[in-house]
Structure 1
Amino acid sequence: MTPEGVNVAHPDKLFIGGRWVPAHSGRMIDLISPNTEQVVGRVAEADETDMDAAVAAARAAFDHGPWPTTPPAERIAAFRRMVAHLETRVPELAKAWTAQMGGLASFAGPMHGGSVMALGQIAGFAEHFEFVERRPSMAADTALIAYEPVGVVAAIAPWNGPFGIMANKVAYALLTGCTVIMKPSPETPLEAFIIAEAAEAAGIPAGVVNLVTGHRDASDHLVCNEGVDKVSFTGSTVAGKRIASVCGSRMARCTLELGGKSAAIVRDDFPIEAAAKMLTGTITMMSGQVCAMLSRVIVPRHRHDELAEAIAAEMKQVRIGHSDDPEAQLGPVAMKRQLERIEMYIEEGRQTADLVTGGGRPAHLNRGYFIEPTLFANVKNESRIAQEEIFGPVLSLIPVEDEEDAIRTANASAYGLNGSVLTTDADAAYRIARRVRTGGFGQNGLRMDFGLPFGGFKQSGIGREGGPEGLFPYLEMKTILIDGMPSTL
């Protein structure tokens, strides 16, 4: 069973070793619509036995199969066939995202079309990458640096951007010669099924791409399997810490893209009305469920009340509706537990800050996981709503004395994923960007380019994804010192 318009051939099976096979557990995972709270699909549920089978298949394909030693040009050609297949399925990917996660249909098409285009860009990075390069050496006539695949990769993606995040992990793994086990979120697994079908259609060798869909215990079992050489994880900091500890215990590699509590600093030169429109449009994007979301607004104290009033006015105009409503500007959050989490933080905020607008469920929607865009003012930066990732359309307005205080406040966080400054002065934007401890920073809003490195400082993660630099976490470097140049590299 799959949502209307999503044509997955084998939702009741797993993809292991090049075959669609029944799950060992015999169980299914229900997919719940955030709009209606009704079941819209079911997929097979993998257990520990299935996880081990997927690792064994990926291990065999890496240790004994042709993929790791296939010339890069051939790997790139095979991957481009996958991309061509995915291009034909953008409408399905969009419908899957809307049905499972509640993302707005008006945004789903461009989002997934852009994600597929980005895969072609990643293939281009691999085409220009020197997998073997010569270096000068005092120890040998010929010194070569060979970049070799790290091995079997467990790719674990979250529910908010399930296609783009998983597809990027698979792209970098395949293009470097790794084999991969996809473990999507149990709330949004359909995109990974489509990626598996694309690998099958492209003729990727058996065992190179595998798919297992399971809950937390089975996922933890996958991470703990010693046949996994690297874990690429995007998700919560709590889960990331667990993965880091497991990988550290056996020196497995890991890339972790984790949470954030990113700040937008509003300078005196930026107009209040423009700031209010920008910040409201940002916090309602994907219902606030973006790791790099600008959820803290740091503003000079003398502008605080005026900005709070302007943001509240903008938030009250936001149209809340079902994901397939072309007029909707804010859809539901992804699941019941997420809605309950947001409501818990809103209640916490009522005790420690001023609730300016929002904070409740929309009166006109009595079913679905909907919450009003919410603004808190006079927020203390040390409070929970300013320090912890809410992952919903909740904005905290924090007053400060001056620019120095603003930078100090922005940095007073366990996270360091993203940031912004709202200013018309590019020199000031650069100066502040260099002082804020985050992996990304943009002038005038939430700005990200996944063709460039993406990742965080501090508890926002380890390593980078995106850009040509995204190839390195999937590679090991080998130094070769020999007495002459080999005839072939």
Structure 2
Amino acid sequence: MRTLPKVPLSFTESLYIGGQWVQPHSTTSIDVVDSSSELVYYSVPNADVEDIGRAITAARTAFDDGPWPRLTHAERARVLLDIADAVEARIDDVVEIWPRETGILASSVDVVMREVIDAYRYYAGLATSFTFEEEVTPTNGADFGMIVKEPVGVVGAIIPWNSPMALMAYKIAPALLAGCTVILKSSPEAPGAGYLMAEIAEQLGLPAGVLNVVTADRAASEALVTDPRVDKIAFTGSTEAGKRIGGILGSRIARSSLELGGKSPAIVLDDFDIAEAAHTIASAECFLSGQICASLTRVIVSESRHDEMVDALAAEFSRVSIGDPYDPDVAVGPVATERQRARIENYIEIGQQEGATLAYGGGRPPHLDRGFFVEPTVFGNVGVTSRLAQEEIFGPVLAVLSARDVDDAVRIANATEFGLNASVFTHESRRVLEIARSLHSGTVGQNGNRADFGIGFGGFKRSGIGREGGVAGLQAYLENKTVVLDARPE
């Protein structure tokens, strides 16, 4: 019988609350299933409402009474640098966990983890380069004014399963630098990253309650959103879940950052080689088996080049090997869960029912009888208003749409409820800039997926509210306080 290696985590039977590993109040657990073998890899407690409440109490106490918000930014920055070093020391453990949870290739983990480490170091650097106190001139007759940027308070950070180490870094790092305390709510599908971060917090002696880590399903997680002791929710996930969270937070005037779904277009202009564009787009879609919100999944070309693009994408996918994410010769691993595979297969069926042309893929690899595998899939002749072109699939499925001209391509690109990412394939940078002004998208890149958390990432329309990464990612965890004095303080 096939067995899995031991998970490289020490406290998977506990929750990390108030600086300690504690026994859960909940009596239920979550099984984490290996996406390649369908075997249970490990289990964690399924936190209940009381467990969530304990974590909120710890974070609230740490913010109101603890030392963390009262440290200088430079002192907190030194902790972020220590976190970066500790994360770097655990890369091999992430390689053991992440591919089994979500299907990412083991060979890709190191690249992503370098970005994670850089994120903690980047925000540490903002301790000296960002202006947390700014002198301003009062307009009401006083002699001295200041804008002081203070921490927003207790933060509930809710992360998805597809890229947990990276997505938590762009929440935890700016929140901690600002002086906030955090309750990290991991996804049931991929809790390993959260447990690893909890171990790092304990190892570094982070003050009690500054970082708390729980894993819970949606019902218990909602307690994190509804509790008035939580000042801000930072959420990455589906638009439907974001709508629910945003509605709750709006009712109690709480702060939020919502990084939601996408259906991102790639506009390929006539001066760009079809084969080159197809290689770039197909290769990117293989990363994490297409489970990326910013994936360029709608390929828009002129009518005369539609068939050539469909054939080129199909040829690219036909050369892709599918299988064990630890096999160095494999280019596409499984998707994360059985539920996710079923969702993708359902959309492939919908595409065929809608009359789109299935050019390649559409099924399970015949040589793999275990694991949540889906063939990379290409559809041509996709209608602009079809579900295949409108709804986020979150899997390795590309839709090719044809446009009469560039203006029509922009119209098609904008014809969704999403506005997360976009790309224009052309050798003329000025042309990209001109088109970018007309695209309703948080990011517009040239000749590939240029989503950049180092600058700032987020979307227009129903792709979210706010930005993560960059300076904007720090500002999301700060409140401006205006101080007006009769005279300049000595």
Output the TM-score relative to the length of structure 2: 0.97
Give the Cα–Cα distance (whole angstroms) in 2 for the partners of residues 116 and 80 of structure 1. 9
Is 1:434 aligned with 2:437? Answer: yes
Contact between 1:319 and 1:330, CA under 8 Å: does it hold in 2?
A: yes
> Residue 22 of structure 1 aligns with which residue?
23
Q: Does 73-82 or 356-365 show the bigger shift?
A: 73-82
Q: 1:5 to 1:74 in 2, by over 3 A?
A: farther
Q: Is the Cα–Cα contact under 8 Å of residues 67 and 205 in structure 1 kept in the other structure?
A: yes
For the residues of structure 2 that align with 1:130 and 1:4, how far apart are their CA atoms? 48
Q: List structure 1 runs of 4+ shifted beyond 4 angstroms.
A: none
Which of 410, 414, 417 aligns to 1:411? It is 414
Distance 1:63 1:320 in 2: 51
Q: 301-310 vs 107-116, which deviates more?
A: 107-116
| Counterpart secondary structure, 1:78 | helix
Counterparts of 1:387-466 in structure 2, within 5 Å, are 387-466=390-469
CA separation in 1, counterparts of 2:221 and 2:310? 43
Q: What is the DSSP-based 3-state SS (H/G/I as helix, E as strand, rest coil) of the residue aligned with 1:435?
A: coil
Q: Verify the 8 A CA contact 2:17 2:58 in the aligned structure 1.
A: yes
Work out the CA distance in 2 between the residues paired with 1:93 and 1:288: 20
Q: CA deviation at 1:4?
A: 3.4
Q: Give the structure 2 partner of residue 32 of structure 1.
A: 33
Secondary structure of the residue aligned to 1:212 is strand
Partner amino acid, structure 2, of 1:73: A
Aligned partner of 1:318 in structure 2 is 320
1:486 counterpart SS class: coil
Match of 2:262 among 244, 260, 263: 260
Query: Superposed, which structure 2 residues align to 1:189-200 within 5 Å?
Result: 189-200=191-202
The aligned residue for residue 377 of structure 1 is 380
2:360–2:379 contact (8 Å) kept in structure 1: yes
User: What are the residue-to-residue correspondences of 1:37-48 with 2, within 5 Å?
Assistant: 37-48=38-49
How far residue 446 of structure 1 moved from its aligned partner, in angstroms, is 0.8
Match of 1:211 in 2: 213
Question: Does 1:344 find its partner at 2:346?
Answer: yes
Q: Secondary structure in 2 aligned to 1:186?
A: coil
Deviates more, 1:305-314 or 1:143-152: 305-314
Unaligned runs of 5+ in 2: none
Q: Write out per-residue CA displacement over residues 84-143 of structure 1, whole angstroms, 9 at most, x where no aligned residue.
A: 211111111222111211110111122113311222112112331121111122332110
Q: How many residue pairs are counted as aligned between the two chains? A: 486
8 A Cα contact 1:167 1:195, kept in partner: no
Does structure 2 retain, via aligned residues, the 8 Å contact 1:180–1:208?
A: yes
Quick one: distance in 2 between partners of 1:127 and 1:404?
45
Match of 2:134 in 1: 133
In structure 2, the partner of 1:77 is 78
> Do the aligned partners of 1:3 and 1:41 also contact (CA within 8 Å) in 2?
no
1:240-297, CA deviations, whole angstroms, 9 ceiling, x for partnerless residues? 0000000000000000000000000010000111011112112222111000000000
SS in 1 for 2:362: coil
Note the residue ranges of structure 1 that are not aligned, 5 or more in a row: none
Tell me, in whole angstroms, the C-alpha distance in 2 between the residues paired with 1:81 and 1:61.
20
392-401 vs 37-46, greater mean Cα deviation:
37-46
Q: Distance in 2 between matches of 1:142 and 1:200?
A: 43
Matches within 5 A, 1:59-78: 59-78=60-79
Task: Give the Cα–Cα distance (whole angstroms) in 2 for the partners of residues 10 and 163 of structure 1.
Answer: 18
SS at match of 2:371: coil
Question: How do 1:112-127 and structure 2 match up within 5 A?
Answer: 112-127=113-128
C-alpha distance in 2, partners of 1:82/1:357? 44
Q: Contact 2:62–2:68 (CA<8 Å) still a contact in 1?
A: yes
The SS at the match of 1:134 is strand
Aligned ranges 1:220-299 → 2 under 5 Å? 220-299=222-301
Give yes or no for contact 1:152–1:180 (8 Å, CA) kept in 2. yes
Residue type at the aligned position of 2:244: R
Identity among equivalent pairs (%): 50
Counterparts of 2:277 and 2:203 in 1: how far apart (Å)? 47
Is 2:134–2:148's contact at 8 Å kept on the other side of the alignment? yes
CA distance in 1, matches of 2:96, 2:123: 24
Residue identity in the other structure for 1:173:
A
Quick check: 1:266–1:297 contact (8 Å CA) kept in 2?
yes
Contact 2:421/2:451 (<8 A) preserved = no
- The answer to whether the Cα contact below 8 Å between 1:270 and 1:422 also exists between their aligned partners in 2 is yes
1:394 positional shift: 0.4
Work out whether residues 82 and 201 of structure 1, in 8 Å CA contact, stay in contact via their aligned partners in 2: no
Looking at structure 1, the residues matched to 8 and 224 of structure 2 have their Cα atoms a distance apart, in angstroms, of 28
- Give me the whole-angstrom Cα distance separating, in 2, the residues matched to 1:194 and 1:167: 12
Distance 1:380 1:185 in 2: 34
- Kept in 1, the 8 Å contact 2:7–2:42? The answer is no
Residue type at the aligned position of 2:478 = L
Distance 1:243 1:94 in 2: 32
Q: Which amino acid aligns with 2:432?
A: A
1:441 aligns to what SS in structure 2?
strand
Letter in 2 for 1:233: F
1:167 partnered with 2:169: yes
RMSD: 1.2
Partner Cα separation in structure 1 for residue 309 and residue 470 of structure 2: 36
CA contact (8 A) 1:155 1:166 kept: yes
Aligned-partner Cα distance in 2 for 1:295–1:150: 36
- 1:77 deviates by 1.2
